[in-house]
Amino acid sequence: MPYVVLINPQIPPNTGNIARTCAATATELHLVGPLGFEITDRYLKRAGLDYWPYVKLHYHQSLEDFQTFHSQRGGRWIGFSTSGRCSYVSFPFENNDWLLFGSETTGLSPHVLKACAETVCIPMASPGVRSLNLSVSVAVGLFEARRQLGQLG
């Protein structure tokens, strides 16, 4: 099953909503610091409702800590970015992919994008709209990966 990774998330309710999505799908959620909020933030907890006991949450204080953790587990880094090389729907996801999402304000850094096996985008029909909300993007990407892998049943 794919994993969701948030690198430097800034908005607590977005992360709480993503945690709820991960709880509903039994997907591991990895938060990579620094975070723009405390892990005890009430808005984070509120957005996740009472689903926190079902969240497989991992916190990594830095990108380096996450890289060390990832190297022990393996799998591809798939970066979601407005500058992604292909659409997420045409990309063939694999079971041990790590779906990486950057902060709401800056996205993934060039350093992280370069380290990804592939970068994908969620196409926007309106040229005036740069991106979707982070929690929506995670849900769209995760559910497409799960659909391709036959994990929606």
**Beta carbons of 59 and 38 less than 8 angstroms apart:** no
Q: Which burial class, exposed, middle or buried, applies to 118 when counting CB atoms under 10 A from its CB (0-12, 13-18, 19+)?
A: middle
The separation between the first and the last C-alpha atoms of the chain, rounded to the nearest angstrom, is: 13
Annotated binding-site residue? 131: yes
Annotated binding-site residue? 102: yes
**Beta carbons of 11 and 134 less than 8 angstroms apart:** yes
Annotated binding-site residue? 126: no
Annotated binding site: 102, 122, 131
Annotated binding site for S-adenosyl-L-methionine: 102, 122, 131
